[in-house]
Amino acid sequence: MTDVTAAPENGAAPMGPQIRVLSQFVKDLSFENPALAQLEAGPQPSIDLGIDVKAEPLQQQDAIYNVDLKMTARATRNGQVIFLAELVYASVFQMRNVPAADLEPILLIECPRLMFPFARRILAEVTREGGYPPLLVDPIDFVALYRQQVQHRAGRGSESAS
């Protein structure tokens, strides 16, 4: 006896989960350059990079979601801020055939993974136009970032239950 998977009645092959990018855009961009006039040769600046991802439904019935990828870069040398760059890069996605249990990981891992190269390029160009070498951000482990967010939420939930 062989196993046979029933095809949908209309004869089409069953479809897996689909992610469709409807739009991508810069939602917010800021670059502050307070120390350029005082720039001198010296040690490499220390650069702190912050990453945050947020998602929210736009149209529940059509499974359309907005995802924001926020990147903040702060460069300091000898305690003085050299530059501060903040970028919120947003995308609108439509999901199809995505199980409810998989929706949050897709929105907070796969969607920002698709957005990252575009946001990285914008941040590099802004720092270059600010008079510095382009800030080339290393690839981000969005799985680890998602796990941190889940742990943070679980910690807040247990604190509020106490």
Stretches where the chain sits below pLDDT 50 are: 1-7
Report pLDDT for 153: 85
Count Cβ atoms below 10 Å from residue 109 Cβ, excluding itself: 17
Total structural domains within the chain: 1
Cα gap 68→23, rounded to integer Å = 12
Contact 122/134 with Cβ under 8 angstroms?
A: no
Question: Among all chains, which residue has been given the structure tokens 């575009």?
Answer: 118
160 found inside a domain: no
49: buried, middle or exposed (CB in 10 Å: 19+, 13-18, 0-12)? Answer: middle
Determine, yes or no, domain membership for 1. no
161, part of any domain: no
Residue 9 lies in a domain: no
Residue 5 in any domain: the answer is no
Q: Which residues contact 103 (CB under 8 A, 6 or more apart)?
A: 95
Whole-number pLDDT of residue 1? 42
DSSP 136: -
pLDDT digits (tens, 9 = 90+) for 107-150: 999 999 999 999 999 999 999 999 888 999 999 999 999 999 89
In a domain, residue 10? The reply is no
Model's pTM, two decimal places?
Answer: 0.82
Q: Which domain holds residue 53?
A: 18-154
CATH of the domain at 26: 3.10.420.10
